[in-house]
A and B are shown apart, each in its own frame.
Chain A
Amino acid sequence: MIEVLGRRPALTLSVCVALFLLISVLPVNDYVLHILTLSLIFAMFASGWNLTLGILGLKTLGHHAFFAIGAYLSAIVAFYGGVSPWLTIWAGAALAALAGLLIGLPILRIRSMPHVAIVTLAFAEIVRLIFSNLKDITRGELGFWGIPPFDPVSFGETTIRFGLGNAWGSYVLAGAFFFAVQAGLLLLLRSRPGMTFAAIRDSEAAAESLGINLSTWKLAAFALSAGIVGLSGAIYAHYVMILTPTSVAGPEMLITLLAIIIVGGAGRFFGPLYGALLLTGSLELLREFGEYRMLLYGALVIGFVFAAPHGIAGLRIGRLRRRDRRGTRERSSAA
């Protein structure tokens, strides 16, 4: 588990929270807050995906489907039903988790990476097309606009407002959700379920021989992962307040998130946060070179796969492990 969580995960998480709070009281400009908000939302998406991709070792490629489901369902219920987004986001997350169960059932019985990868990708395409084709409800590629932001919250005198244009409130909200999810995941991974996940990833056969019901565990992890991604999608919808099927479930979303995970470190607990901050943040600076952005993402993914397969979060641990191994070999050849 050290490999996944790093040496002192709770401490690292506390430092991240402290930094997050510090930024919230500093006079930071709205544009920077906007980028940080997006980073936090994508970091949440990535940590949900990371649960299956890295930590459980299931190579799913269609999690943008759950992001889209969470985003659209929450937006539709809030827009047409007039329900507060504070409630609808949970419906979005729940439907995403349910979709995770639905798609998880057929693929998890198969221990074949290509099947998992292709079927999840095909599922994402189905979801994108459905939202694109249900024009009466979603307006298709024209864009579903007018999605309500989260209702304002009042503390005595002060009222916090959310949604695009209310940078500070949105930043705090995204951070609160992100860190709540991270804390929950950390608790989960350090408990018995965490050990079970690790056992499954290291050896399915061995885990099974210990009496672990593989399908149930994988399915539960898959649904949880889909639910977290769905929640991030719902928060995204009420932040940007406009959705198109391609922007939330298209190939660009896949490559952006894949880049975040690979650059941050697949299977590392803090990988998604590092990756999201680095990519959403620093590459936003390159916005004027819009058409080169995807080129750069592609190059970054290839570069990291070759040079630093465990991403930023794995850099230090990787070096330590290599030294360890060299140490044992020297010792053994001396013996």
Chain B
Amino acid sequence: MLRLEGIDVHYGATQVLWSVDMHVAQGEIVAIMGPNGSGKSTVLKAAMGLKAPSGGRVRLDGREMQSAPATERPRHGMAIVLERRRLFPRMSVHENIVLGAYARPARETRGSLDWVLGLLPDLRDHLDATAGKLSGGQQQMVAIARGLMARPRVLLMDEPFLGLSPAMVRTVSAIMRTINDEGVAILFNEQNAKLSFALSHRGYLLESGRVILSGSGQEMLDHPEVKRVYLGVREEAVR
């Protein structure tokens, strides 16, 4: 469904992604794993059009996306939950969520809101709260809700577990599975190998801007390279 082909990305004169190929099929949860600075976030931003690739292409259902600016992509069924939630801090939770539907026809908003609040019922109690004053976990819920309001077929999630308590990590993982059961494909990144591959159907391992491994979650966990680098020396590798 979503396909990245040979994506190169430069920041100024520095190249950070080198010919990255990835794809996400209908109904999949796909993890991008890799150490700090390996380019995980950049892959998601390039897919969403928030960072223009200097080479390669992004396709959604076979349709070329390069010419579509970031603001067009929600219309085509893509949404992103940015790193560190990035809510509109001085707006209410309700306003934040509704803005997620900006790219969709206004008549859908009501229905989408019901759907989203059905998936994330806890938010009902906080609709009038100021988004910036919520806890990190609650903010992540709002950010996910905002992303879902675009009725995406594929949801990109940049570091969805960053800075969350272990309990909250479990909650968010559960939400991601629920969303996936609703037919939304998910492409997310996370440094923690166990967490990533336990949650995902497949994964990619990124190092210095290149895909060095890919496979199913279990295959990845069993791979000697992953074991050595990410599980063996876990204390150093993870955060």
Interface residues of chain A, those whose CB is within 8 Å of chain B, are: 325, 328-329, 332-333
Query: B8 to A328, Cβ gap below 8 A?
Result: no
Q: Which chain B residues border A333 with CB–CB below 8 Å?
A: 8, 55
A-B contact pairs, 7 of them (CB 8 A): A325-B13, A328-B13, A329-B10, A329-B54, A332-B15, A333-B8, A333-B55
Size of interface on B: residues with Cβ below 8 Å to A: 6
Q: Which chain B residues border A328 with CB–CB below 8 Å?
A: 13
Min CB–CB distance A36 → chain B (angstroms): 41
Q: Considering the complex, give the chain A residue whose CB is closest to the CB of B6.
A: A333
Q: Considering the complex, give the chain B residue whose CB is closest to the CB of A333.
A: B55
Q: Which chain A residues border B8 with CB–CB below 8 Å?
A: 333
Q: Which chain B residues border A329 with CB–CB below 8 Å?
A: 10, 54
Q: Closest 7 CB pairs between A and B?
A: A332-B15, A325-B13, A333-B55, A328-B13, A333-B8, A329-B54, A329-B10
Give bound CA distance, A325 to B15, whole Å. 12
Q: Which chain A residues border B55 with CB–CB below 8 Å?
A: 333
Min CB–CB distance A58 → chain B (angstroms): 22
Interface string of B1-26 (1 = CB under 8 A from A): 00000001010010100000000000
Q: Considering the complex, give the chain B residue whose CB is closest to the CB of A325.
A: B13
Q: Which chain A residues border B15 with CB–CB below 8 Å?
A: 332
Interface residues of B in 162-179 (CB under 8 A from A): none
Q: Which chain B residues border A332 with CB–CB below 8 Å?
A: 15
Give bound CA distance, A86 to B227, whole Å. 78
Interface residues of B in 54-70 (CB under 8 A from A): 54-55
Interface string of B33-69 (1 = CB under 8 A from A): 0000000000000000000001100000000000000
Min CB–CB distance A317 → chain B (angstroms): 15
Min CB–CB distance A201 → chain B (angstroms): 16
Give bound CA distance, A329 to B10, whole Å. 9
Give bound CA distance, A329 to B55, whole Å. 10
Give bound CA distance, A325 to B13, whole Å. 7
Q: Which chain B residues border A325 with CB–CB below 8 Å?
A: 13
Min CB–CB distance A323 → chain B (angstroms): 13
Give bound CA distance, A328 to B15, whole Å. 10
Give bound CA distance, A328 to B8, whole Å. 14
Min CB–CB distance B41 → chain A (angstroms): 20
Give bound CA distance, A182 to B48, whole Å. 50
Min CB–CB distance A177 → chain B (angstroms): 40
Q: Considering the complex, give the chain A residue whose CB is closest to the CB of B15.
A: A332
Q: Which chain A residues border B13 with CB–CB below 8 Å?
A: 325, 328
Give bound CA distance, A128 to B175, whole Å. 64
Give bound CA distance, A333 to B54, whole Å. 10
Give bound CA distance, A329 to B13, whole Å. 8
Interface residues of B in 142-173 (CB under 8 A from A): none
Min CB–CB distance B151 → chain A (angstroms): 37
Min CB–CB distance B152 → chain A (angstroms): 32
Min CB–CB distance B38 → chain A (angstroms): 18
Q: Considering the complex, give the chain B residue whose CB is closest to the CB of A335.
A: B18
Min CB–CB distance A330 → chain B (angstroms): 11
Give bound CA distance, A9 to B66, whole Å. 45
Min CB–CB distance A332 → chain B (angstroms): 6
Give bound CA distance, A328 to B13, whole Å. 8
Min CB–CB distance A117 → chain B (angstroms): 25
Give bound CA distance, A329 to B54, whole Å. 10
Q: Considering the complex, give the chain A residue whose CB is closest to the CB of B10.
A: A329
Interface string of B83-114 (1 = CB under 8 A from A): 00000000000000000000000000000000
Min CB–CB distance A320 → chain B (angstroms): 14
Q: Considering the complex, give the chain B residue whose CB is closest to the CB of A324.
A: B13
Min CB–CB distance B75 → chain A (angstroms): 31
Q: Considering the complex, give the chain B residue whose CB is closest to the CB of A328.
A: B13
Give bound CA distance, A333 to B7, whole Å. 11
Min CB–CB distance A255 → chain B (angstroms): 32
Give bound CA distance, A329 to B15, whole Å. 9
Min CB–CB distance B148 → chain A (angstroms): 37
